[in-house]
Structures are given as structure tokens and as C-alpha cells.
Amino acid sequence: MWNVKLGNYDLKQGGPLFVIAGPCVLENEETPLEIGHAMKTICDDLGLPYIFKASYDKANRTSGSAFRGPGLEAGLDQLARIKKELGVPVLTDVHLPEHCAPTAEVCDVIQIPAFLCRQTDMLEAASKTSACVNVKKGQFLAPWDMKNVVAKIKEFGAQSWMLTERGASFGYNTLVSDMRSIPQMQEFAEGPVVFDATHSVQQPGGQGTSSGGNSALAPWVASSAVAIGCDGLFAETHPNPAVAKSDGPNMIPLERMKAVLTRLKAIREAALANPL
């Protein structure tokens, strides 16, 4: 049985669905905080643990001219302010090993992007901090390949960790979600297995110089993942996805998040009450 302590939350196996949500990137000072306040209110009302998510640097954008964010120093300052105001744990992703230590001084969860999930130097640097390490399964990996990732982070001394399913490559510019990966990874994860609903409906590079997506499908794949037993949900959201500076096409509109999470909570409770 796993147990992950994040801020005031004590995440436990078989507990309520926890929610990792926020904008893709820290695109300005106002919008991320607006999203965080809205999500915290929704999750508090539903009794779901909430972890704020936003990136200070999107180093894996399709185009070199795409917006990346405020960068490490300014971004961590902003995340620290958001964390203090909301009073919730904060997650952000890192792309360089040397960013892990300073990021862990502010953030409760360090996320290793899917493209970097096998990079030993990244896993080692993140695991040697006090932060929880969330590793996104690469689109190019089978679920059981993540056993090696878990072995690495355990060897490097990670105190707690999560694995996140975010779809598998299915031809060009397309991902497909294989829900079997969730129970398969739970067999060896020794920590929560999260489902990333919005990146799973992404179309990588599908708009030529940026990624596309089908946000309408995100609640449906999320429902499937919760029904099969994922421990947490990852979803990017925005009050106006059409103007979001990153990943807008696959985001769930903020106004829909309460209805989506209400449905997912009911599915989670039904699944726990009737285990297979």
C-alpha cells in the first residue's frame, strides 16, 4: 500500500481521486492564479485533493518561435506566490537536471516530461531532491517498460513518486489511450498511477508549427481511466483555450471542469464500492 504526503494532503491507495490541473504554461501573472482559485474551489466542494500545475518553461514546443514561459527564476517566483495564496501543493515540469534542485525548493512535485522519461541524469537529479517525482510514460514505451524507470528512481533515493499515462503513438500526429496500461503499471508502480486526460487527446505537431488536439474527447477518456482505477487525474484547463499560449486545442474549458469532476468523482466512488 502506497502513501504520498503532499502539503496538507495525505494521498492513499484507494482514497479519493486527486486532481492535478492548471494551465499548460505560466503565460502571464493573472490567468494561472484565476485558474488555480477556480480549481481549488471546485475540488474543495467535491472533497478532492487538488495539486496546481503550470510550467515555467515549455522546452519541447513544436516550433522554436513558440511561447515558452517566464523561465526558471521568474517562473519559480511566480509558482511560490501561487502556492502561498492557494495553499495547495504545486507541480511543474523540468527539462534540465540542474533545474531539479532549485525547483524542489518551491514545488512539491517535479514532473519528468514523457520525452525525457528514460533520461537517467534527469531521473537521478529529480530523485535526489525532497520532491515527489512524477514521471510521464513516454508515448514510445510499453507500460511494462516503466518498471525500469521505477527501478532507477528507487535506486537514486526518491522519497515518493507517481507514474502518468498520457497516450501512445498511433501513426503520425496521433495518440491512442490504452487503458490496460493503468492496472499494468499499478502492479509495479509502488505509488499512484495518474491519467493525463488532455495530453492523451493531443495531436503532436498536428497543426504544422504547433500541436493540435480534440478537447471534446478528454472527459470521455478521463471517465474510462477513472472507471478502470487510475489514482489521480491530470488535466490542463483554461478560461479561454482558444487564446491559451500552449496546448489550447486539447484543454478542457475551465467552465466545464466542475461538471467533469463531479462525474469522475461518482465513477471513482462506484468503482471503489464494486471492486473487480
Encoded amino acid at 266, one letter: A
Report pLDDT digits (tens) over 182-194. Answer: 999 999 999 999 9
* Sign of the torsion angle spanned by Cα atoms 245, 246, 249, 253: negative
Query: In which band, very low, low, confident or very high, does the pLDDT at 276 lie, cut at 50, 70 and 90?
Result: confident
Q: Could you tell me which of 72, 73, 62, 70 has the C-alpha nearest to residue 32?
A: 70
Looking at residues 258-263, what average pLDDT do you find? 98
pLDDT in tens, 44-97: 999 999 999 999 998 775 667 678 889 999 999 999 999 999 999 999 999 999
Choose which CATH entry (3.20.20.70, 3.40.50.970, 3.40.50.10860, 1.10.486.10) describes domain 3-273: 3.20.20.70
Non-local CB neighbours of 61 within 8 Å, separated by 6+ positions: 67, 68, 210, 246
Q: Report which of 68, 72, 83, 98 is spatially closest to residue 36, judged by C-alpha positions.
A: 83
- What is the overall mean pLDDT for the chain? 95
Q: Is the pLDDT of residue 172 over 80?
A: yes
53: Cβ–Cβ under 8 A, 6 or more apart, which residues?
A: 20, 21, 22, 23, 90, 91, 92, 111, 234, 236
Give the distance, in angstroms, between the CA of residue 102 and the centroid of all CA atoms in the same chain. Answer: 20
Could you tell me the pTM of the whole model? 0.96
pLDDT tens string 116-151: 999 999 999 999 999 999 999 999 999 999 999 999
Q: Would you place residue 6 in the very low, low, confident or very high pLDDT band (cuts 50, 70, 90)?
A: very high
Q: Where are the domains of the chain?
A: 3-273
**DSSP-H helix ranges across the chain:** 30-46, 72-86, 100-104, 120-127, 146-155, 181-186, 218-228, 257-273
| Bridge partners, 112 (sequence order) | 135
The pLDDT of residue 32: 97
From residue 225, alpha-carbon distances to 175, 219, 232, 240, 268 in Å are 15, 10, 9, 25, 10
Q: What does R_g of the chain's alpha carbons equal in angstroms?
A: 17
Query: Would residue 205 be called left, alpha or beta, if left means φ above 0 and alpha means ψ between -120 and 50 degrees?
Result: left
Residue 201 near residue 170, CB atoms below 8 Å: no
